[in-house]
């Protein structure tokens, strides 16, 4: 007797859609393609997910549900760092989600809980409402932008020196001296573009700290009006 197929559920549909997008990109995700992957007729999928836009909303919930929220009770800088590192790792696994995360006019409970947790970390640390909004936008711009750049590089870290050598070899003698110097001195064996994330995150968190009402510069002057 053949094995009985597991019944189709919304959860199974979302998991299959996530895998399909991971393997072939968001453009390949159609309701028909999803049905084929699940081994069912398209109408069976529509019974659980009414249309493509609803499916995309569920995918946003799925991806954001994998991102660790800021740990409650941790210092704000540590908490937001944890959240940003987690977001980077999740989006590296699902880079197609970058165009979806902020696209929902009716976000689901997972999205709302995540946004609430990030804002709660900032507000609880003494940032005012406008500053919390600035900080959140800056953090996401950095994380999303870094993942986009990271995921579209035409080489991996192991081949970075080789690619740098090819670029330098193709440059006319004396041209682009700063680029050539960078390639020769920085992009060498052991270089990893991903290492730039921690440097950038530290700088961004420094910038976020300057939005705090009690922040001061190195001369002891307040950087933001209380």
**Per-residue pLDDT for the chain (226 aa), expressed as one digit of tens each?**
445 667 899 999 999 999 999 999 999 999 999 999 999 999 999 999 999 999 999 999 999 999 999 999 999 999 999 999 999 999 999 999 999 998 988 999 999 999 999 999 999 999 999 999 999 999 999 999 999 999 998 888 778 888 888 888 999 999 999 999 988 888 877 788 999 999 999 999 999 999 998 754 333 444 444 3
> Within 10 Å of residue 187's Cβ, how many Cβ atoms?
18
Domain containing residue 27:
1-50
2 inside domain: yes
Q: What are the residues facing 222 on neighbouring strands?
A: 216
Backbone angles phi, psi at 222, to 5 degrees: -70, 135
User: pTM here?
Assistant: 0.88
Number of domains in the chain: 1
Contact (CB, 8 A) for 185 and 191? no
CATH number of 25's domain: 1.10.10.60
Does residue 159 fall inside a structural domain? no
Flag whether 198 is in a domain: no
Is 183:129 a contact under the CB 8 Å cutoff? Answer: no
Give the closest residue to 110 by CA, choosing from 158, 66, 148.
Answer: 66
Residue 33 inside a domain? The answer is yes
The answer to whether residue 18 sits within a structural domain is yes
Residue 14 domain-assigned? yes
Q: Tell me if 38 is assigned to some domain.
A: yes
């Amino acid at each position: 007797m053949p094995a009985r197929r597991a019944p189709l559920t919304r959860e199974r549909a979302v998991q299959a859609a996530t895998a399909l997008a991971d393997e072939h990109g968001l453009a390949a995700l159609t309701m028909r393609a999803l049905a084929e992957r699940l081994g069912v007729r398209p109408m069976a999928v529509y019974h659980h997910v009414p249309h493509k836009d609803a499916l995309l909303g569920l995918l946003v919930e799925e991806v954001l549900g994998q991102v660790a929220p800021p740990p409650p009770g941790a210092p704000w800088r540590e908490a937001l760092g944890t959240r940003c590192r987690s977001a980077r790792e999740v989006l590296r696994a699902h880079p197609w989600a970058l165009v979806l995360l902020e696209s929902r006019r009716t976000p689901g409970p997972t999205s709302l809980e995540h946004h609430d947790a990030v804002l709660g970390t900032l507000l609880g640390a003494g940032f005012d409402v406008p500053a919390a909004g600035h900080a959140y936008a800056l953090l996401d711009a950095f994380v999303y932008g870094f993942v986009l750049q990271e995921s579209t590089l035409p080489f991996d870290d192991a081949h970075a020196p080789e690619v740098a050598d090819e670029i330098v070899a193709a440059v006319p003698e004396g041209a682009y001296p700063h680029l050539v110097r960078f390639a020769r001195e920085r992009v060498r064996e052991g270089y990893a573009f991903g290492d730039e994330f921690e440097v950038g995150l530290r700088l961004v968190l420094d910038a976020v700290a300057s939005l705090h009402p009690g922040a001061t510069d190195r001369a002891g002057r307040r950087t933001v009006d209380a």
